[in-house]
Structures are given as structure tokens and as C-alpha cells.
Amino acid sequence: MDIYLRKKRWKLFLFAAAVIIVAASLYYTSILVTEIRKDERRNVEIWAQAIHQKADLVNFTNNLFEQIKNEERKRVSIVAEAQRRIIKATSNEDLNFFLSIIGENNTIPVIITDETGKIMNARNIRIDSVKYLEGKLKKEFSIYPPIVVRYLDTQIFLYYTDSNIFSQLKKVLDDLIRSFFSEVVLNSASVPVIITDSTRHNIYQCGNIPANKIHDKVWMAKTLKSMASQNTPIRVDLADTGVHYIFYQDSYLLTQLKYYPVVQFAVIAVFLLIAYLLFSYARKSEQNQVWVGMAKETAHQLGTPLSSMVAWMELLKLKGLDEETVREIEKDVQRLETITDRFSKIGSAAKLEKTNVVEVVHETVNYIRSRISAKVSFTIVPDLSHEIIIPLNLHLFEWVIENLCKNAVDAMEGNGQVNIEITEDDDHIHIDIGDTGKGIPKSRFKTIFRPGYTSKARGWGLGLTLSKRIVENYHSGKIFVKSSTLNKGTTFRIIMKK
């Protein structure tokens, strides 16, 4: 089985295994998050329900307080009426009933004055030597309007204030309201909450809101709108403070839990991507070291026998060997020297020089033409009279053209047509090398450039790999399969910068 086919299958298998593991992890995490989210949501609902019940309790207390206040007002009115009856009573009337009414008032502070404010009588309050209702005392008894009792041409004013019991109840109610808002703001469920007035715009209090956002009106307005869309605001009508609305939304923990699986997936994906890139980089670095080591070792191994061959050539010349034979052997020795030079340059910084690429292609093809089957014909466009100058490393680039032409000849099995076309634009030149061979499946367009891939029984599968490295790494160009049709031929394209 082809090594790259096995590698591809292993990649697919490992990818599928990774997907299954990640999916299982995310599924299990999603279940846990869902359960936690449900529990957190229940906490929020319990908190909201508790707030409703507490608000109902505060409202009930407030209503009870109002009833007590009204009852005390009635009691004062009764006391005032009894006082008026006593004043208006004739000597024959029985005043015991009215006196008992006044006497039974043991809770409500009452002060009776004449029109000038002089205190005539007082009950349930110590006034000591104070004779007139004025100053602080008058302010204390001016919470409610006095009850006026008219008698003949005079008026008597009955001032009263809250009883001690009522005052204590009011204090309890105020403490209850304050504690209610405190418990709403500082809630154990960590629910972000904003309390507004009856307009739903003016902020009264807020809790679990970022400190740097409290004074940001735009942010608060958006947050109120978002809270109202999540949960219906709780309406609370409290004593002395009027109507308030409590806006709240899911806790920050619940909000984070909603996005946790997505964040987890993103983190895993980033980790896998980084791991893949690191392993890929390490693999490429290792391949580069292997390539460089192999190339330099090959150049070193070729150097010794090549030096001997040069010496043997000189000896053959002295012995008068046929000149034509000597010239052909010299060409092959020079070719070996070129190949040695090519291998020695792998892994080193290539020196690029301005070169006529048309001439290079023609010379390389001419060398190949004399060493392959006569049934293979070459056409090159344009001809040698045309000149296209680009930066090249001559020996390495000749190697690329040689590899592509030899592959084309092998694909045609020694019988066919190789067409080479060189074109240019403002920034690049394009070299298309096409053959009439058996073609390449589209699924192998990229695989053929990998080390070890070959369709030949004795091939090493390194020619196209070396060509790709020379074009892309040393000349900053591109090489790829432009087109291919099975049993009709293949065209490779090289793109180089001018």
C-alpha cells in the first residue's frame, strides 16, 4: 500500500478519534452545565419568589400601618368630639360618658389650645411649665392638621401626634423597608439587580453590578432593557417611598455556564491547532535536516570517484582515444560535476543571478534530447532569439527542468510529445511543461510532490519533491499541476518572480 495512502488513512482515523473524544467530552460537559444551569435557574426563581413574598409582606404591613393610623385619627376625632360636648354641655347633662372617652385615651398625645396657642389641657405628654404651643413642640404636633372645636364665639384647637405604639410601628416598618431593599441588593443568589422608581428609568439602588458601570447611563439603560426582556420586573408599592420596580437577570455564573461549552470547544480547537502546527513545524524541520544531510553526503560521496574520472580522462586523451568518444565522456563527467554541485547547494543559501530563462530551458532540453528515445519530440515556445531575464540559480533550476522533462518522458513510456511554453506578465513568468502521457488523478495533484511518492517500479520519488523545494524555497516561486486528463496528458506550471 502507498505510504501516503496509509498516512492519509491514519490521519482520518486519528481525526475521527479526536472528534469522538472531543464530542464525548463536550456532550458530558454540556450535561453537567445543563444540570448546574437548571439548579442556578431554580435559585434565581426561588430568589424572585422570595422577593415577591417579602414585598407582599411589606405591603401588608404598610396597609396594616395605614389602618392603625386611620384608627388613631378616628380616636382623636372621638376625643375631640367628647371635648366639644363637654364644653357645650349644660349643667343638667350627664358628662360621665364623654369624660370616660377622654380618660381612656392613654396612648395618643393630645394638646388643647385656645386661639392664641395657649395650652389649656394636655394628655399623654409632659409639657412641664410650657404655657404656649410653639417652637419644637408645635413642630412635633403639626404633623397632622388640628381638630377645631367651635364654642359660641371662640375656637378650641386639639393638636395630636402619633402615639408611642404607632411611632414604634412606623420605625419597625421603616427598618423593614430598608432591610427589604438591602436584601434585594445584597442577595445570596448573586443576581444582578437594579431598583428603579415608578418611571422605570431613575435608578434607586442596584446590586451585583460592576462598579465602573453604575454611573454609565447608556450601559444601565441597555441593561434595564435586557433585564426586562429576561424577567418581568417585580412591582413593589411601599410606604413613604411609592412604587418601585425591581429588575433582575440571570446571575453571572448562570450566564457564564451558557457559554462555557462554546468556550471549551474554542480552547480545545486552538490547542489542537497549535499542537498540529508545532508538530508540523518539527516534522518539516526534521525533513529539512534529513534532506540537507543526504544531499551533502551524496555530494561528498560523488566527489572522490569524480576526481578519479577526471584523471582517467586525461590519461585516455594521452593514449589517443577517439576524440568523439572522449568528448561524450567529458560531457557526462561535466554533468556529474554539475549534479555534485547541485547536491552541495542543498541546505545552503542559493545565489541568484540574472539569467535568460529561455536559453536555460533550451540548453537543458537539448542535453536531455540526445539521451532519450528518438520517439519523443520537444517543442519550446519562444525560440532562442527571445530573451526573458529573471534571477536564477542556474544549476538548481536546470535540475527542475530536467526532472519535469524526464517525468514527462516516463509518463509517455518513451513515445509522445513534450510542449514547453514560456510566457510573462509585468511581475512574473510562467513555464508550462505538458506531455501526452497517461495523466495524473486529480486526488494525487498534491501527493506527487511528497517524498517517496512514485509510480515507477524503481523510482525513489524524490524528483518532484526536490523540484518543489528548489522553486519555492530557493526562488520564492510556485510549482503545481495546472491540468491533467487520464490517458491524455499532464501540464505542470512553474511561476517565478521577475
What's this model's pTM, rounded to 2 decimal places? 0.47
Range of the domain at 21: 17-165
User: Rounded CA gap, 27 and 326, in Å?
Assistant: 77
Does a structural domain hold residue 237? no
Q: Is 289 within the bounds of a domain? A: no
| Maximum alpha-carbon separation in the chain | 177
Is 4 within a domain? no
User: Is residue 450 situated within a structural domain?
Assistant: yes
In a domain, 243, yes or no: no
C-alpha cell at 112: 388643647
Omega of the bond leading into 233 within 30 degrees of 0 (cis): no
Which of 308, 368, 301 has the alpha carbon at shortest distance from 333? 308
pLDDT for the residue 446? 82
Residue 141: helix, strand or coil by DSSP? coil
DSSP at 149: E
Please tell me the distance from the alpha carbon of residue 181 to that of residue 238, in angstroms, as a whole number: 11
Residues 467, 473, 477, 481, Cα dihedral to 10°: 40
In a domain? residue 423: yes
Segments of the chain with pLDDT less than 70: 1-5, 7, 37, 40-41, 43-48, 79-80, 83-104, 151-152, 173, 176-178, 180-189, 238-241, 254-255, 286-293, 295-297, 299-300, 342, 345-350, 452-461
Domain count, the chain: 2
Nearest Cα to 101, choosing from 129, 81, 79, 121? 79
Q: Concatenated DSSP letters for 55-85? A: HHHHHHHHHHHHHHHHHHHHHHHHHHHHHHH
User: C-alpha angle with apex 23: 17 to 26, nearest 5 degrees?
Assistant: 140
What's the CATH code of the domain at 399? 3.30.565.10
Whether the CB-CB separation of 373 and 402 falls below 8 Å is answered with no
Q: Which of 332, 328, 329 is nearest to 340 (CA)?
A: 332
- In 3D space, the residue among 199, 194, 244 whose CA is nearest the CA of residue 219 turns out to be 194
Q: How many residues make up the chain in this entry?
A: 498
What is the distance between the alpha carbons of residues 468 and 464, in angstroms, rounded to a whole number?
6
Residue 212 per-residue DSSP state: G
User: Which of 149, 165, 181 is at the close of a domain?
Assistant: 165
- Tens of pLDDT along 195-241? 888 888 888 878 878 878 888 888 888 989 988 887 888 887 765 66
Put the strands of the sheet holding 478-485 in their side by side order.
376-381, 416-424, 428-434, 489-497, 478-485
d(CA 248, CA 151): 60
User: What pLDDT was estimated at residue 91?
Assistant: 55
Determine, yes or no, domain membership for 445. yes
Single out the residue in 107, 130, 165 at which a domain terminates: 165
Strands 416-424 and 376-381: parallel
Helix (H, G, I), strand (E, B) or coil at 322: coil
**pLDDT, tens only, 343-355:** 776 666 668 899 9
